[in-house]
Chains A and B, each alone.
Chain A
Amino acid sequence: MEALMAVAVGALVACGVYLLLRARTYPVILGIMLLGYGVNLFLVGMGRVGAGAAPILTEGTSDYVDPLPHALVLTAIVIGFGMAAFIVVLALRTRIATDTDHVDGEEVL
Chain B
Amino acid sequence: MSGHLTILPVLLPFATGVLLLLVPGRSLRLQRAIGLAGVLLLLGVAAALLAVSTQGGPRVYHLGGWPAPFGIVLVLDRLSALMLALTAAIALFSLLQAVQGQDRSGPLYHPLFQLQLVGLNGAFLTGDLFNLFVFFEILLIASYCLLVYGSTAPRLRAGVHYVVLNLAGSSLFLIAVGTLYGMTGTLNMADMARKVAAVPAADVPLLHAAALLLLMVFALKAAVAPLYFWLPSAYAAASAPVAALFAIMTKVGVYAIVRVYTLVFGAAADPALGGLATRWLLPISLITILLGMLGAVGVRELRRMQGYLLIGSIGIMLAPIALFSAGGISAGLYYLVHSTIVMAAMFLLSDLIAKQRGGKDDLLVQGPAVTQAGALGLLFFVGAIAVAGLPPFSGFVGKALILSAVRPTGWMPWIWSLVLVSGLLAIAALSRAGIRIFWDVDADDAPVAVRWRLLELGPTVALLALVLGITVLAGPITLFLDAAAEQLLVPGEYVRAVLGGAP
Contacts and interface: CB of A to CB of B under 8 A. Distances in A.
Give yes or no for direct A-B contact (beta carbon below 8 Å). Answer: yes
B157 interface: yes
A87 B148 CA distance: 12
Contacts of B187: 68
Contacts of A90: 144, 148, 156, 159-160, 163
A82 B115 CA distance: 15
B interface bracket (residues with beta carbon within 8 Å of A): 20 to 34
Contacts of A76: 174
Say which size band chain A's interface belongs to: 35 or more
Interface stretch (B165-173, B267-275, B295-303): B165-173
A69 B181 CA distance: 9
Contact of B164 (A20, A47, A72, A79): A20
Given A39-B175, A42-B178, A83 B160 contact: no
Interface in A26-76: 28, 32, 35-36, 38-39, 42-43, 45-48, 68-69, 72, 75-76
Contacts, number: 89
B153 interface: yes
Interface string B129-171: 0100010010001001000100111001101110110011011
A82 B160 contact: no
B182 interface: yes
Nearest to B181: A46
A103 B141 contact: no
Contact of A105 (B141, B157, B174): B157
B278 interface: no
B179 interface: yes
Given A42-B175, A83-B137, A93 B156 contact: yes
A43 B174 contact: yes
A35 B168 contact: yes
Contacts of B144: 86, 90
The winner among A47, A69, A79, A87 for most chain B CB atoms within 10 A is A79
A103 B162 CA distance: 11
A86 B182 CA distance: 30
Contacts of A46: 178-179, 181-182
B160 A91 contact: yes
Interface string A77-109: 001001100110011011001100001111000
B178 A98 contact: no
Contacts of B159: 90, 94
Contacts of B141: 82-83, 86
A83 B144 CA distance: 10
A36 B164 contact: no
A101 B161 CA distance: 13
A35 B173 CA distance: 12
Given A75-B134, A86-B144, A32 B167 contact: yes
Nearest to B182: A46
Interface in B387-432: none
Contacts of A47: 182
A25 B159 CA distance: 12
B69 to A, nearest CB: 11
Contacts of A94: 153, 156-157, 159-160
Nearest to A36: B171
A46 B130 CA distance: 14
B236 to A, nearest CB: 14
A97 B167 contact: no
B156 A98 contact: yes
A72 B182 CA distance: 13
Nearest to A48: B182
Contact of B167 (A42, A83, A91): A83
Given A35-B168, A104-B161, 11 more contacts: A39-B175, A39-B178, A42-B175, A45-B182, A83-B167, A90-B160, A90-B163, A94-B156, A97-B151, A103-B164, A105-B157
Interface of A: 16, 20, 25, 28, 32, 35-36, 38-39, 42-43, 45-48, 68-69, 72, 75-76, 79, 82-83, 86-87, 90-91, 93-94, 97-98, 103-106
14 contacts: A20-B164, A32-B168, A39-B171, A46-B181, A68-B181, A69-B181, A82-B141, A87-B164, A91-B160, A93-B156, A94-B160, A97-B153, A103-B161, A103-B164
Give 10 closest A-B pairs by Cβ, nearest first: A105-B157, A46-B182, A94-B156, A46-B178, A43-B178, A97-B153, A39-B174, A35-B171, A39-B171, A97-B156
Interface of B: 130, 134, 137, 141, 144, 148, 151-153, 156-157, 159-161, 163-164, 167-168, 170-171, 174-175, 178-179, 181-182, 187
